[in-house]
Structure 1
Amino acid sequence: MQKLLITAALSLIGATSYAQTIIKAGTVQLGGSVGYSQQSNDNSYNYYTGTSYLNTTQHAVYKSFSINPMAGYFVADNLAIGLSVAQNNSKTAYSYDSPDIAGGDQRNSQLNLGAFVQYYRLFTDHFGLVGTLNAGYTHGTSTSTYASGGSRGTSNGFSAALTPSIVFFPVPKFSIGASVGNVGYSHYTSKIESDNNVLDSGTSNGSSFGAGFGISYLTFSGTYYFGR
């Protein structure tokens, strides 16, 4: 029994070692990811009628769609570098239980042009993990529309994100991946122009760092490998 266990362990180690190098240097990959999310929130909302404050419920519905084509080259076994383009569009619509308050919405569009480093850790010929570090230039636009007025904004800056994902190979030349969020940093300069004095106008600088994981961040990807 002991010899059998030792033999099985050595076979597993050998299989794992082989699987770790099945994507050879010189391989070219072409693929990308798409993602869609929708969230709904209900919050208590106080508003001023002109004579007193009343309480109602605010309903917010957030929808987001993203697409991210990528092309890369394996400079070493399981290690690829490449270029990527990412486009994300989102909309948040607001409505209220009170007929005295008109609804509104906020729309955002963001374009990212960048480069990435990607490392594969394959446990079998069909399954593994992938870590992707992406960094690049970001340009965004936003519009807000309410009964009291609206605003338009632009932003430019730098962003970077580390995204872990799982990967499955149904065939050697094609993989399917899935991720549920990332750890990211961004630094930006934004400018807002308001239609009236209700909303603030001006230019601001800011930065953010944080992690977002969960089913609402679910993204699927597909990649084809040339020369594998």
Structure 2
Amino acid sequence: MKKTLIGALFLSAGTLPAQAQISAGTKLLSTSLHYSYQTTEEVLNSLNSKQGKLVYEEFGFVPSAGYFVTENLAVGLTGQLSVRKRHFGTAASGPGTITGVYLEQKIRTLSGGVFGRYYKFLGEKVALYGQLGVNYQNNYYYFSSRYDSSNGRGLYAYLSPGLVFFPSNKIGLELAMRGASYDRMTNERDVINSSATKNTVTTSTFNFGFGLNDLNLGISFYLGRN
């Protein structure tokens, strides 16, 4: 009876669909995009409690290239360009107007670094992955309300989860989250049209991005995969 039961278990296991793998030597090329747009009605105490519309926009572009050093594990290089904008305006306001109030904040980020990505397949067509990376980044900030700008430089480390659907062996459609990150930045503030000495500040920050606004859509190509 025991032999029959064990034989049946092995037979049923042999009929389960085999999970796909990505073999060593496969080359990875991927890119992802992110865009978010939000508007809220806000009251700014710094502007004598004026009420207006606060608009937040963010765009991100992340290209990557990697090589699978072993099965399902890739290492490689990645870069990032992101632009974030915040606008606050009251009635009849806008750039160049004299009625109402218009404030603007811009943050531009450029970064590049190394990453490692490991895949865990859930079947033939779907896989989860975790990506660990370290980047060097440069940030540029501009604040119209204070007529100043600043530059930041430093290291950025992150751990992000993702999901890949494979319509074919060589193409993957990705859905990734920003995940958890840590950065240590040194910022130099420069007041526009002023001879004042630059202020230098070093900050360390932990960030967590697991919401809908932290989703990135991407596509990846697996060159040389069978």
For normalisation by structure 1, the TM-score amounts to 0.84
Runs of at least 5 residues in structure 2 that lack an aligned partner in the other structure: 94-98
Shift of 1:6: 4.3
**1:141-199 CA-partner distances (Å, limit 9, x unpaired):** 111113xx5111100000011110111000011000102331000000001112379xx
Runs of at least 5 residues in structure 1 that lack an aligned partner in the other structure: 49-53
1:139 aligns with 2:138: yes
Paired with 1:83 and 1:166, the residues of 2 have a C-alpha distance of 20
Paired with 1:179 and 1:27, the residues of 2 have a C-alpha distance of 21
1:10 aligns with 2:13: yes
Partner of 2:96: none
Task: Tell me if the contact between 1:142 and 1:154 (Cα under 8 Å) persists in the aligned partners.
Answer: yes
Paired with 1:102 and 1:55, the residues of 2 have a C-alpha distance of 12
Shift of 1:132: 0.7
Shift of 1:202: 1.3
Task: Please show how residues 201-216 of structure 1 align to structure 2 within 5 Å.
Answer: 202-216=199-213
Partner of 1:19: 19
Taking only the aligned residue pairs, the percentage that are identical comes to: 27
Paired with 2:220 and 2:165, the residues of 1 have a C-alpha distance of 10
- Which residue identity does 1:183 align to in structure 2? A
1:165 aligns with 2:159: no
Secondary structure of the residue that 2:24 maps to in structure 1? coil
1:73 aligns with 2:67: yes
Partner of 1:57: 51
Task: Please show how residues 147-226 of structure 1 align to structure 2 within 5 Å.
Answer: 149-195=146-192, 202-226=199-223
Change (3 A) 1:201 1:61: farther
- Which residue identity does 2:13 align to in structure 1? L
What is the number of residues matched between the two proteins?
Answer: 214
Say what the alpha-carbon RMSD is for the aligned residues: 2.6
Change (3 A) 1:195 1:171: same
Partner of 1:116: 115
Paired with 1:61 and 1:47, the residues of 2 have a C-alpha distance of 17
- Which residue identity does 1:224 align to in structure 2? F
Paired with 2:52 and 2:200, the residues of 1 have a C-alpha distance of 29
Shift of 1:38: 1.2
- Which residue identity does 1:46 align to in structure 2? N
Paired with 1:87 and 1:209, the residues of 2 have a C-alpha distance of 20
Paired with 2:41 and 2:210, the residues of 1 have a C-alpha distance of 21
Change (3 A) 1:101 1:47: farther
Shift of 1:209: 0.9
Partner of 1:82: 76
Paired with 1:139 and 1:32, the residues of 2 have a C-alpha distance of 20
- Which residue identity does 1:225 align to in structure 2? Y
Secondary structure of the residue that 1:19 maps to in structure 2? coil
